[in-house]
């Protein structure tokens, strides 16, 4: 596929450590009411189901490493909530049980869309969260170990696609890119089925979450969501406001933006973080993009542009081409903790090989060490194509491409023509089920939004706007990374977040650190 890039909100916590240091005494506690919210009669069987916990063999991808005390299960939900007597799906969940006096379950999701959330239950080790909550991660419908799964490409097809030379925006290049997108959409239709593709969006996921809440035995939902997980959370709050006990949303997606606006804001965010990386790198005499920050973008382009026609060798026989190099760079910009690795990768390219950037690209694309892939990319496309409106105006596509290059020059390959391919979702086999809108909620408990000033994928202002729409407390973190809560190294965020989740005590107003 060769559509205009839109950054996926991959959770960097899955790349970094999942173990968090203790955060001190929380004081106080909160208990659940035993009374469950009313359930429509046709759905009662799903809400009343018993979760059968067991081992995690057969769950997760080839590279996942689960904690020995983690349990796994699947929860049954209807594919179409308007037809609960019809086909069903199963949502994979993981759990690490509370070690002390239990408040309830804490449901957690890493975002994407398309990311598996099973390892999320390992977040919060050695904190009051581990003592007071059953920590529960889940793979949203169609993703990871949930069944059925969204399936569009085989591992061989994904490797072949990544190996293809990039298309330019000439008429021939645009035609080839759009033909490739049509073939991809057709494969998704054939291999997944249109009925299921039509019901993998946020609209259904939030209803699945309410079924999970009840099946887990909780009268109210406690939830921690990152990146796209904030869209799930805010949509849940909008659909089931009185079912929320506590909710923390970190790295906000602004549901009022259309896909074009979102793409351009992300491009601006990535440029800002690239500039911060370049300034940091310039402090080193051997920085691969030089020590003159005024020339960093040009030096970077001079380094990567030759890969368009001449990939460099890697230990893996695939080599590193232009598209994989750019994917690897974007992955590294998700967190300043990865900047040293990015410098290593760019230095390797300067020397004529590309192992580090290829590994980063594999991480982003969900390629396991054994050559298999998670279905992250397929699920990402399927979810966004039913969540967002279609853009089928060629003039808008061309204008978006030109503006994208202007606001993020480090991503500009210099081959812009004023035209661009229509977006993948233009030819998607099923219609979208959501539209951009501001969230309006009545009867919602106090929630918390965490937003980072230099977040590349979900810009800071989106968090400010989401907090305003939800009437939430806002925690501002000054840094260059995508999401921060429970990352183990920012106590001024972790402490109030954990305290709120356990005791419902709100963070201090205007908290900034």
Question: Which tens digits make up the pLDDT trace of 308-361?
Answer: 999 999 999 999 999 999 999 999 999 999 999 999 999 999 999 999 999 999
Give the 3-state secondary structure of residue 253: coil
Bridge partners, residue 136, by sequence:
95, 107
Mean pLDDT, the chain, whole residue set: 92
Ranges assigned E (strand) in 11-167: 71-78, 88-96, 104-109, 133-139
What is the reported pTM?
0.92
Distance (Å, rounded) from C-alpha 484 to C-alpha 489? 9
The fraction of the chain above a pLDDT of 90, given in percent, is 88
Tens digits of residue pLDDT in 366-387: 999 999 999 999 999 999 999 9
pLDDT of residue 63: 85
Q: pLDDT at residue 2 above 90?
A: no
Measured distance between the N- and C-terminal CA atoms of the chain, rounded to whole angstroms: 40
Pair of tokens at residue 139: 């793979």
Residue 30 has pLDDT above 70, yes or no: no
> What's the per-residue H, E or C state across 147-214?
ECECCCCCHHHHHHHHHCCCCCCCHHHHHHHHHHHHHHHHHHHHHHCHHHHCCCCHHHHHHHHHHHHH
Instruction: Say whether pLDDT at 411 is over 60.
Output: yes
What is residue 355's predicted lDDT score, i.e. its pLDDT?
A: 98
Position 3 pLDDT exceeds 70: no
pLDDT of residue 36: 55
Each residue's pLDDT tens digit, 76-114:
999 999 999 999 999 999 999 999 999 999 999 999 999
Q: With cut-offs at 50, 70 and 90, classify the pLDDT of residue 33.
A: very low
Q: Which residues of 386-418 are buried (b: 16+ CB within 10 A; e: fewer)?
A: bbbebbeeeeebbebbbebbebbebbbeeebee
Burial string for 456-491 (b: 16+ CB within 10 Å, else e) reads: bbbbbebbbbbbebbebbbbbbebbbbbbbbbbebe
Give the pLDDT confidence score for residue 381 in this predicted structure. Answer: 97
Distance of CA 435 to CAs 74, 134, 347, 385, 432, Å? 30, 34, 44, 11, 8
DSSP 101: S
> 118-163: per-residue pLDDT in tens?
999 999 999 999 999 999 999 999 999 999 999 999 999 999 999 9
Structure confidence at residue 511 (pLDDT): 96
Band (pLDDT 50/70/90 cuts) for residue 37 is: low
CA torsion sign, 14 to 150 to 108 to 464?
positive
**CA–CA separation, 491 and 21 (whole Å):** 9
In this prediction, residue 413 carries a pLDDT of 96
Provide the sign of the torsion angle of the four alpha carbons 95, 100, 104, 110, taken in this order.
Answer: negative
Q: Answer yes or no: is pLDDT of 115 > 50.
A: yes
% pLDDT > 70, the chain: 93
Q: At residue 450, does pLDDT exceed 80?
A: yes
Give the chain's domains with CATH numbers. 12-29+46-149+202-257+437-503 (3.40.50.1820)
pLDDT at 295 over 90: yes
Q: Is the pLDDT reported for residue 27 higher than 80?
A: no
pLDDT at site 6? 45
Contacts of 285 (CB under 8 A, 6+ apart): 291
Q: Contact 155/69 with Cβ under 8 angstroms?
A: no
Q: Is the pLDDT of residue 473 over 80?
A: yes
What confidence tier does 35 reach under pLDDT thresholds 50, 70, 90?
low
The catalytic residues are 227, 455, 482
| pLDDT score of 39 | 86
């Amino acid at each position: 596929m060769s559509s205009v890039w839109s950054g996926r909100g991959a959770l960097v916590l899955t790349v970094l450590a999942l173990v968090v240091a203790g955060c001190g005494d929380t004081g106080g506690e909160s208990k659940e009411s035993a009374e469950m919210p009313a359930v429509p009669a046709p759905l009662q069987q799903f809400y009343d189901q018993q979760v059968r916990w067991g081992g995690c063999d057969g769950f997760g991808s080839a590279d996942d490493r689960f904690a020995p005390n983690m349990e796994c299960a699947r929860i049954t939900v209807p594919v179409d909530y308007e037809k609960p007597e019809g086909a069903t799906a199963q949502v994979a969940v993981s759990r690490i049980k509370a070690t002390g006096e239990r408040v309830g379950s804490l449901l957690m999701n890493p975002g994407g869309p398309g990311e598996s959330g099973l390892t999320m239950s390992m977040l919060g080790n050695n904190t009051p969260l581990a003592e007071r909550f059953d920590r529960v991660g889940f793979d949203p419908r169609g993703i990871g170990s949930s069944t059925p799964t969204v399936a569009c490409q085989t591992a061989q097809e994904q490797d072949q696609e990544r190996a293809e030379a990039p298309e330019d925006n000439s008429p021939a290049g645009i035609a080839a890119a759009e033909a490739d997108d049509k073939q991809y959409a057709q494969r998704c239709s054939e291999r997944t089925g249109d009925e299921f593709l039509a019901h993998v969006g946020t609209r259904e996921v939030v209803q699945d979450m309410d079924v999970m809440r009840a099946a887990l035995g909780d009268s109210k939902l406690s939830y921690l969501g990152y990146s796209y997980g904030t869209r799930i959370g805010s949509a849940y709050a909008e659909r089931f406001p009185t079912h929320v006990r506590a909710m923390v949303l970190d790295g906000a997606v602004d549901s009022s933006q259309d896909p074009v606006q979102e793409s351009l804001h992300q491009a601006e965010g990535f440029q800002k973080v690239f500039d911060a990386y370049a300034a940091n790198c310039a402090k080193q005499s051997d920085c691969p993009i030089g020590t003159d920050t005024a020339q960093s973008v040009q030096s970077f382009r001079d380094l990567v542009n030759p890969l368009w026609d001449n990939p460099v060798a890697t230990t893996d026989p695939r080599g590193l081409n232009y598209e994989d190099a750019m994917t690897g760079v974007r992955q590294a910009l998700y967190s300043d903790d990865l900047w040293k690795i990015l410098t290593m990768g760019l230095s390797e390219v300067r020397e004529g090989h590309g192992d580090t950037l290829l590994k980063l690209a594999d991480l982003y694309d969900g390629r396991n060490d054994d050559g298999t892939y998670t279905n992250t990319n397929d699920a990402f496309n399927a979810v966004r194509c039913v969540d967002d409106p279609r853009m089928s105006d060629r003039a808008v596509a061309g204008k978006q491409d030109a503006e994208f290059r202007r606001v993020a020059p480090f991503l500009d390959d210099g081959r812009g023509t004023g035209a661009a391919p229509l977006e993948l979702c233009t030819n998607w086999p099923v219609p979208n089920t959501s539209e951009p809108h501001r969230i309006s909620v009545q009867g919602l408990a106090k929630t918390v939004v965490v937003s980072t000033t230099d977040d590349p994928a979900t810009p800071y202002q989106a968090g400010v706007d989401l907090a305003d729409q939800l009437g939430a407390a806002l925690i501002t973190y000054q840094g260059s990374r995508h999401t921060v809560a429970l990352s183990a190294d920012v106590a001024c965020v972790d402490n109030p977040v954990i305290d709120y989740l356990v005791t419902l005590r709100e963070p201090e107003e205007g908290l900034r650190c």
